[in-house]
Structure 1
Amino acid sequence: MIASITGTARHVGLDRVVVDVHGVGLLVHTPPAVAAGCRTGTEVDLATSMVVREDSMTLYGFATAGERDTFELAQTVSGVGPRVALAILSVLSPDELSAAVAGEDIATLTKVPGIGKKGAERLVLELRDKMPHAPGAGAAAAPAATAAAWQEQVADALVGLGYSTKQSADAVAKVADEHGAGDVSSALRAALQVLAR
């Protein structure tokens, strides 16, 4: 399987990057914060996981091997497929997921789109003994962006996760007031916390 790729970002979308590896463009699905840290024309290095189905082969990319391992571990839970596992890593870092599972923090787990109370309880039950207590590096911080750029990227990411344009704009405005500018990954997490209130 393909465990990592290094190449030039040819296209960067909300939650995907097309990486040119020796003339072959590979479509890699990523958490929004990872895509936000990529720039068209620059080199990217992603830890990857390939999901093979009867009718498709899909590549998922992450900033760290720890994120990739957490993505694969999450899919061992019944009812959790690649899309939900990707949503988990869009909301929680591996460290945050590990802490939520260890602390049986259902409220934190249900902040993930697609995870209800029963799904959160299943995550706790099935991952409790599998999650490392002190995972390696969490999500790598995306490079700091200008105020306008990070606000637009975070708002786009929230819309991609299923929130309305107005909800997304309001959450981003609140994060900007409370925290000011920062990296996209931290701002996205803060905005999701605002929306969960």
Structure 2
Amino acid sequence: MIASLTGVVEHVSLDRAVIDVGGVGYLVHATPGTLAGLRTGERARLFTTMVVREESMTLYAFTDDDERALFETAQSVSGVGPRIALAVLAVHTPDAVRRAVHTQDVKALTRVPGIGPKVAQRILLELGGKLGAPTGDGAAGSGATAGTGGDQRGKVVEALVGLGYPAKTADDAVARVLADGGTETVADADVAATLRATLRMMGGRRG
């Protein structure tokens, strides 16, 4: 089992990256938030877990061990595989997920692409008691971070520029996503979700 990788970032795309460790390039899948923190040519350390299937072995990477643990635990829920588990972490911090389970917040989970009310209810039922109580460290993922305040749109644009998009292209794309959502600003709690929605809309185009 590969538990972590430390090496030079060789390539970053919309949903994956390649980390060069001692001349071996490891392909990892990750959330937009994790990928946005990687810079080509720079060293990075990622926590990883490998999902083995009959026809494939896929490595998933995370910024910290808490994310990795939640990713693995989420897959204990029937019907939740790596794709949905990763989508959960693209929208919510681990502590925000713990809070949703603790308060039985179906709405918070249905914000995740691919999760409808039935799957959300199953997650709340099957993860109850497995994640522990929220610690408060993930307040940013639940919209409770009053201290940061203000419009966080710049964070989304910066993340897109880090992924290789021109600044104007990134800014225009975020503006379109916000307009579609009927708002002009990004709350701190919505940075990850806005980034993911923008990446999906852009479809990999960097022109």
Q: TM-score range by the shorter chain?
A: 0.7 to 0.9
Which residue of structure 2 aligns with residue 71 of structure 1?
71
Which residue of structure 1 aligns with residue 41 of structure 2?
41
Residue type matched to 2:158 in 1? A
Return the alpha-carbon distance in structure 2 between the equivalents of residues 175 and 62 of structure 1.
31
**Unaligned ranges ≥5, structure 1:** 157-164
Number of aligned positions between the proteins = 179
Runs of 4+ that moved beyond 3 A: 134-141, 144-154, 165-168, 172-177, 189-193
- The structure-2 alpha-carbon separation of the partners of 1:26 and 1:192, relative to structure 1 and needing over 3 Å to count, comes to closer
SS in structure 2 at match of 1:45: strand
- The structure-2 alpha-carbon separation of the partners of 1:192 and 1:99, relative to structure 1 and needing over 3 Å to count, comes to farther
Mean Cα deviation higher: 106-115 or 167-176: 167-176
Residue type matched to 1:122 in 2? R
- The structure-2 alpha-carbon separation of the partners of 1:186 and 1:170, relative to structure 1 and needing over 3 Å to count, comes to closer
Return the alpha-carbon distance in structure 1 between the equivalents of residues 110 and 155 of structure 2.
31
Which residue of structure 2 aligns with residue 59 of structure 1?
59
1:70-109, aligned counterparts within 5 Å? 70-109=70-109
Q: Are 2:20 and 1:20 aligned? A: yes
Deviation at 1:167, TM superposition (A): 8.9
Deviation at 1:172, TM superposition (A): 7.4
Which residue of structure 1 aligns with residue 112 of structure 2?
112
Return the alpha-carbon distance in structure 2 between the equivalents of residues 110 and 20 of structure 1.
36
Return the alpha-carbon distance in structure 2 between the equivalents of residues 20 and 192 of structure 1.
25
Percent identical residues: 45
Deviation at 1:110, TM superposition (A): 0.4
Indicate conservation of the 8 Å contact 1:16/1:35, yes or no.
Answer: yes
Deviation at 1:116, TM superposition (A): 0.5
Deviation at 1:117, TM superposition (A): 0.4
Which residue of structure 2 aligns with residue 169 of structure 1?
176
- The structure-2 alpha-carbon separation of the partners of 1:138 and 1:51, relative to structure 1 and needing over 3 Å to count, comes to farther
Indicate conservation of the 8 Å contact 1:94/1:135, yes or no.
Answer: no
Which residue of structure 1 aligns with residue 201 of structure 2?
none
Which residue of structure 2 aligns with residue 149 of structure 1?
158
Deviation at 1:166, TM superposition (A): 7.5
Q: Over aligned residues, Cα RMSD in angstroms?
A: 3.6
Indicate conservation of the 8 Å contact 1:67/1:139, yes or no.
Answer: no
Q: TM-score, normalised by structure 2?
A: 0.73
Which residue of structure 2 aligns with residue 187 of structure 1?
191
Return the alpha-carbon distance in structure 2 between the equivalents of residues 17 and 136 of structure 1.
30
Which residue of structure 2 aligns with residue 160 of structure 1?
none
